[in-house]
Amino acid sequence: MKKIALILSTLSITLAPAAISQTATDEAISSSRRAVEASPAPFFFPHNWIRGYTEFAVAPSHNEPDLGRCMFPQPVTAGGAASPCTAYARYLFSGYMEIQPLGQTFARHLFLFFEPRFSFGRNIPQISYEESMEPIAYDRAIGAGYRLPRNLELRLTQHQVDYLGRYTRLLGPADLRTTGPYGLYTTVSVRWSFGGYGHSGPPSAY
């Protein structure tokens, strides 16, 4: 028992300074973080003033996104597998970006956003499934928003679709001549975020 007590005493004497040192280090880090959080944001380009994401998606065969450009089923006169109207995407490359350049005054709640999406592929459901990355369309939403209390945002959004490559022309009898997914529109909306989603940007406390 004396040996055990001696060993425990030695360990406690050895480890105590390390524990005290670690506690002091943790307190210093916490104090530094509090000081950074309490300091006012710079007027221009605050922390996380530009943020977003990019995404690349692949649609397996028989699951291709329909861009609403081609008739389905296609008429016999369209040419079957040789039909030029193949606006069923295999690949989607998209993203989202917010720019909130001001960190002070009421303008710190104002931000701009940009949401592009490119569609690529060459497919006809039940007739032809290919791995081609031929460009089909580019649709994007751009706009401005203003952060409100209680995780609310007021947004003005303008959306437009541009067809690419040969899709800028008429593509035979199966071509519906549409303006693309959702076409051209402008909306005024209110967005409510919950559970901490979408709040990685500059502080927006009122």
pLDDT per residue as tens digits for the range 68-90 = 999 999 999 999 999 999 999 99
Q: How many domains does the chain divide into? A: 2
Q: Could you tell me if 98 and 74 lie in one domain?
A: yes
> How far apart, in whole angstroms, are the C-alpha atoms of residue 153 and residue 197?
13
d(CA 88, CA 123): 5
pLDDT on residue 47:
86
Q: Are residues 115 and 181 in the same domain?
A: yes
User: Do 163 and 96 lie in a common domain?
Assistant: yes
109 phi/psi in degrees, rounded to 5: -90, -5
Do 105 and 146 have their domain in common? yes
Domain membership of residue 202 (yes or no) is no
Give bridge partners of residue 157 from the DSSP assignment. Answer: 143, 187
pLDDT in tens, 19-31: 445 555 566 556 5
**Cα–Cα separations (whole angstroms), residue 135 to 27, 58, 80, 118, 119:** 56, 14, 21, 8, 6
List, run by run, the mean pLDDT of 10-residue segments along the chain (206 residues): 52 49 56 57 84 97 95 92 95 97 89 98 95 96 96 97 96 94 96 80 53
**3-class state of residue 184 by DSSP:** coil
Q: How far is Cα 146 from Cα 188, in angstroms, rounded to an integer?
A: 12
| pTM assigned to the model | 0.74
**Domain range for 61:** 41-192
